[in-house]
Amino acid sequence: MNTTHAGQALIFDSGVGGLSVAAEIRKRLPNLQMSYAADDIFRPYGAKTEAQLKARLPRLLWELTETVQPDLVVIACNTASTTALSDIRAALDIPVIGVVPAIKPAAAASRTKTIAVLGTPGTVERRYVDDLINDFASDCRVILQGSVNLVDIAEKKLAGEPVDLDWVRTEISPMFNGRNGADIDAVVLACTHFPLLREELKASVTQSVQWIDSGDAIARRVETVLKGVSLKQPQDRPDTALLVGPETSPARIKTFNDFGFERVVALMG
C-alpha cells in the first residue's frame, strides 16, 4: 500500500449497524478518513437467502468502491460476512475485512460454559457459525437465537424513535427461558446492529450476562492492514455516508452526523 496519500476506509452494512463498528474504528484511529455505505433498500439482510446476498453484494461493493476509492473495505455486517465474504473479496482488488462473530472470546469468558449467539436468522443458521462453534466453543453449550425485529428496533432507535423494552424482551426471552437458558452468562452480539441496543438488552434481563461484540477486534484489524499508510484526514473531504435508497429522514441524517459522517447522500439503489 503506498504512503503518499491519506488512507480511507469504506464501512459497509445493510443499515446503521456498521456504525457500532465505525465508532470502534474511530476510537482507535481518530484521523482515519472514513466513508460509510448503508444498503437501506435491501435491508433486512437477515431475512434474505444466501443466493440473494451472493447475487447482490459483490457487484454493489464493486460499484461503491469505484465511487469512493477507499484503501480497504470493512464489511461491518455479520450476515453479509458469514454469507458472501469470499465472493466480495473476489470482486475487489483491495483488502476486505469481514466480521467474525465473537464466539471465541465469549466461550473463553463464560464460567458456566453456556453461551448464546444472538444474530439475524440468516447468520445463526450459517455453516460458518457452526464451524466457529466447533473450533472455539466445543466445551460450551451454545444456544442460537435469530431475530429480525431487533435490527428494526435498532434502526428505529437511531432514527430518534423511542424503544419499548418489551419489544427487546420479546426477542431475547426465548433464549433465556428455554433449555439451559438460566445458565447463559455470555451472549455473542452476532449482528452489528445489536451493540447499538446494549443498554436496552442489559435492562431486559435479570441474570448477569456479558454482551460481547467484535467491534474492537475489527478496529485492531483495520489498524494492522493500514500500517504504514498516512492517516491525515483531508480538510476538504468530510466523512460521507452513502445511503442506498431513495431518501432518508432528518433524524437519521443527524445520527450519521453524530457518528462523524458530516455529509449524508442518498443514492438510488
Question: For the packed helices 50-68 and 78-91, what is the interaxial angle rounded to 10 degrees?
Answer: 60
Q: Is 215 a residue that touches ligand DGL (CB under 6 A)?
A: no
| Under rule CB under 6 A, residue 145 binds ligand DGL | no
Candidate residues 7, 8, 17, 195; the one interacting with ligand DGL per rule CB under 6 A: 17
Q: Tell me if residue 77 is catalytic.
A: yes
- Catalytic hit among 32, 77, 158, 186: 77
**Binding residue (CB under 6 A) for ligand DGL from 89, 104, 126, 193:** 193
Rounded-to-integer distance, Cα 76 and Cα 256, Å: 15
Cis peptide leading into residue 101 (ω within 30°):
no
Question: Taking CB under 6 A as the criterion, which residues in 24-83 touch ligand DGL?
Answer: 43-46, 77-79
Among 187-195, 201-209, 221-229, 254-262, the segment contacting ligand DGL (CB under 6 A)? 187-195
Indicate the residue among 13 and 239 with the shorter CB distance to ligand DGL: 13
Q: Does 213 bind ligand DGL (CB under 6 A)?
A: no
In the complex, what is the shortest distance from the CB of residue 155 to ligand DGL, in angstroms, rounded to a whole number? 9
Q: Does 101 bind ligand DGL (CB under 6 A)?
A: no
User: Which of 64, 144, 151, 264 lies at the binding interface for ligand DGL (CB under 6 A)?
Assistant: 151
Grid coordinates belonging to 122: 440468516
| Bridge partner residues of 75 (DSSP) | 12, 98
Residue in the structure block whose three cell numbers are 419499548: 164
- The count of chain residues that interact with ligand DGL, using the rule CB under 6 A, is 17
Q: Which of 85, 191, 197, 201 is catalytic?
A: 191
The conformational region for residue 199 under phi > 0 = left, psi -120 to 50 = alpha, else beta, is alpha
Q: 17 is written with which cell numbers?
A: 449497524
Options 13-21, 54-62, 195-203, 260-268: segment touching ligand DGL (CB under 6 A): 13-21
Instruction: Give CA–CA dist 199/215, Å, rounded.
Output: 16
Indicate whether 255 belongs to the interface with ligand DGL (CB under 6 A).
Answer: no
Strand partners, 72: 9
Interface residue with ligand DGL among 33, 192, 214, 248 (CB under 6 A) is 192
Shortest distance (Å) from residue 255 CB to ligand DGL: 15
Q: Are 123 and 146 spatial neighbours (Cβ–Cβ below 8 Å)?
A: yes
Please, which residue, 14 or 110, has the CB nearer to ligand DGL?
14
Q: Is 140 a catalytic residue?
A: no
Contacts of 186 (CB under 8 A, 6+ apart): 106, 107, 109, 110, 115, 116, 209, 210, 212
Window contacting ligand DGL (CB under 6 A); options: 61-69, 171-179, 190-198, 223-231? 190-198
In whole angstroms, give the CA distance from residue 36 to residue 9. 8
Minimum CB separation of residue 195 from ligand DGL in Å reads: 10
Burial 36-65 (b: 16+ CB within 10 A, else e): bbbbbebbbbbebeeeebbebbbebbeebb
Binding site for ligand DGL (CB under 6 A): 13-15, 17, 43-46, 77-79, 120, 123, 151, 191-193
Catalytic residue set = 77, 191
